[in-house]
Structure 1
Amino acid sequence: MPDLNLLITLDALLAEGSVAGAARRLGLSPSAMSRALARLREVTGDPLLVRAGRGLVATPRAMELRERVGELVDGAQEVLRPAARLDLSRLTRRFTLRCSEGFAESFGPALLEIIGAEAPGVTLAFTLKEDKDSAPLRDGTVDLETGVIDAGTAPELRAFPLFDDRWIGVVRAGHPLAQVGDPTKIYAAAAHIQVERRGLHSDEIDGAASEAGIVRRVRAVAGGFATALALARATDLVATVPARHTLGLRRDMTSFELPFPLPGFTVSMLWHPRMNGDLGHRWLRQCLRRACDAVLRSAQE
């Protein structure tokens, strides 16, 4: 019969990417973890982690197993965990959510309303997400973050999709071109604000516009959607932004569909697997999902 304890060991090794880190996580000595890794290699018939410079990297087989092993360990821990209840009325805790300014303004008020009604002793700190570094989630500086999963997302993070989004054009209220009614003419005739931030590929927007016969005349460059919309609100420039992500930032502005196809994307919440079974953290994740659903449902009414 296979030793199911090896699943916990494998999960720690794949999440930490190092023998020393996995040993600390499970409270074992490095030598004991090295022996466990040797046993795992024997059982799976794969090296799992191989040397690359001063560190270790996962093999393709290990990458294939990562999510499955994590789900099995989480499920086993859930089954074996004693029944517990979270007394929200007496919960005193500070959570940190890392997200963009646009996300905080669009969904933050609804999230705070839910938290305040259910757990008045909880404080929610919003911190700006400027990169995809997973260290704050790993070390506990950040409890939860939102973003788009891509090649730069740390593979050990857990994720849950919050909503799908699409790109739109936005101009100030009363913009002279807004009376035209033709998105192609608006987009082609106006000058534009280009957003440059990690994970956002402005060249894809330019490429899609070019295929439609439109060359964007960039007059300003912004580091984020909040800045881009603030500039568009006070000028005749056009900002190209995510529709749902910027609901709270583009109030009283005029939005229009882009005159060319552009792939959408999914905004997810992400957290470190060590927080997966934490009752307070699980409640926070549920609150965020409910807040996003409520805001988007209200926007459709």
Structure 2
Amino acid sequence: MENLDLNLLTALDVLLDEASVTGAAHRLGLSTSAMSRTLARLRSVTNDPLLVRAGRHLVPTPYATDIREHVHTLTRDVQAVLRPRHRELDLKTLDRTFVLRANEGFLNVVSAPLVTAILNEAPRVHLRFMPKTDKDALPLREGRIDLEIGVRGVSAPEIRSRLLFRDTFVGVARIDHSLFADGDISIARYAACRHVAASRRGTFRGPVDDALEQLGYQRTVSVVVPGFPDALEIVRQSDMVTHVPRSCLANLAHDLARGSNLRLFELPVKTSEIAIASMWHPRMDADPAHRWLRDTVQAVCRRLFACYDVCFWKST
């Protein structure tokens, strides 16, 4: 099998169909002498004459007659596998299940409009949303997850990513919190509050603590919850404060405008922007359905977050 030449299969198919070296050469764009050499190679490989002289014509041997249909089927199948695909994606008939992994905050805001956008175009598609408990790339590598949404980073060297939006942290407290009593919020007054932190890993320390420490301050984190929606609910019913990505507040925009008991404020310390991206394994790059899924996720994020002035769009 080391010296297997698939071109011989194509040549054999044409030779058996034409039963003529000259006719086969013309169809394949070869000279008659080159086609004769190819027939000689085929005879050597198969250990059979394949085509023999009968008067002025060539006729197939019993072996050649026996394999003719099989050779034609094999040739067609090989060409179908190796020929680049240019098929059009028919979204109305696309019947496929996509598995997406994202954290709770993202799903709270994006899942409903994303489901609407996808099912409006592809009604037979099924979506499965999975919780994001870690950054392990193995599920993407093994094909258990089609698309992951999260903080852009290096989870594995081969994983592809596309920037969806850039997010920033914003403070949240109850509207009648004493933090708002004396005008501008100073670093000292902010640090003196009791805080609720959202951490998937259950840690009490995060980017805000690093920023405060650089300025000589330290805050007290009294409660740690798994997700940002939990932190907002605690703040709504207590004197604690928290910080969440602006994107998590998109669903609250109308409530805030109508007099919700929550109030937003700019953090008195600067933290880095958060780059949120979609991530996938490179084997899905050329898949038309997966490409459509990636484009749809990006379009929904741009439309949704731009409406709430959440994101600062930058080129990838």
Return the TM-score normalized by structure 2. 0.64
Larger radius of gyration: 2
Q: Which of 229, 241, 244 is equivalent to 2:244?
A: 241
* Per-residue deviation, residues 163-215 of structure 1 (Å, max 9, x unmatched): 01111111134434345442326523421012333598934321212334542
Aligned residues of 2:148 and 2:280 also touching (Cα < 8 A): yes
Give the equivalent residue in structure 2 for 1:114: 117
> What is the deviation of 1:296?
1.2
Aligned residues of 1:172 and 1:235 also touching (Cα < 8 A): yes
Equivalent positions of 1:1-301 (< 5 A) are 81-151=84-154, 153-184=155-186, 187-198=190-201, 202-248=205-251, 252=256, 253-300=262-309
* Per-residue deviation, residues 222-259 of structure 1 (Å, max 9, x unmatched): 22323222222222211122112453368543211110
Q: CA RMSD in A?
A: 2.5
Q: Which amino acid in the other structure matches residue 94 of structure 2?
A: L
Return the TM-score normalized by structure 1. 0.67
* Per-residue deviation, residues 11-65 of structure 1 (Å, max 9, x unmatched): xxxxxxxxxxxxxxxxxxxxxxxxxxxxxxxxxxxxxxxxxxxxxxxxxxxxxxx
Q: Structure 1's 287 and 142: CA in aligned 2 closer, same or farther, altered over 3 A? A: same
Any idea what SS the aligned residue of 2:85 has? Answer: coil
Q: Which amino acid in the other structure matches residue 86 of structure 2?
A: A
> What is the deviation of 1:264?
1.2
Aligned residues of 1:178 and 1:254 also touching (Cα < 8 A): no
Any idea what SS the aligned residue of 2:250 has? Answer: coil
**Any unmatched runs of 5+ in structure 2?**
1-82, 257-261, 311-316
% identity of equivalent residues: 38
Aligned residues of 2:102 and 2:132 also touching (Cα < 8 A): yes
Any idea what SS the aligned residue of 2:152 has? Answer: coil
Any idea what SS the aligned residue of 1:90 has? Answer: coil
Deviating 4+ runs (over 4 angstroms): 198-201
Q: Structure 1's 174 and 109: CA in aligned 2 closer, same or farther, altered over 3 A? A: farther
Q: Which amino acid in the other structure matches residue 158 of structure 1?
A: R
Tell me which moved more, 216-225 or 129-138: 216-225
Aligned residues of 2:173 and 2:241 also touching (Cα < 8 A): yes
Q: Structure 1's 203 and 104: CA in aligned 2 closer, same or farther, altered over 3 A? A: closer
Q: Structure 1's 137 and 93: CA in aligned 2 closer, same or farther, altered over 3 A? A: same
Aligned residues of 2:196 and 2:221 also touching (Cα < 8 A): yes
Q: Which amino acid in the other structure matches residue 194 of structure 1?
A: A
* Per-residue deviation, residues 246-297 of structure 1 (Å, max 9, x unmatched): 5336854321111011111200000011111111111000110000011012
> What is the deviation of 1:155?
1.4
Any idea what SS the aligned residue of 2:196 has? Answer: strand
* Per-residue deviation, residues 83-128 of structure 1 (Å, max 9, x unmatched): 2211111112211110011101111122112112111111211111
Q: Which amino acid in the other structure matches residue 298 of structure 1?
A: C
For residues 113 and 122 of structure 2, the distance between their equivalents in structure 1, rounded to whole angstroms, comes to 14
Q: Structure 1's 176 and 236: CA in aligned 2 closer, same or farther, altered over 3 A? A: same
Q: Which amino acid in the other structure matches residue 264 of structure 2?
A: S
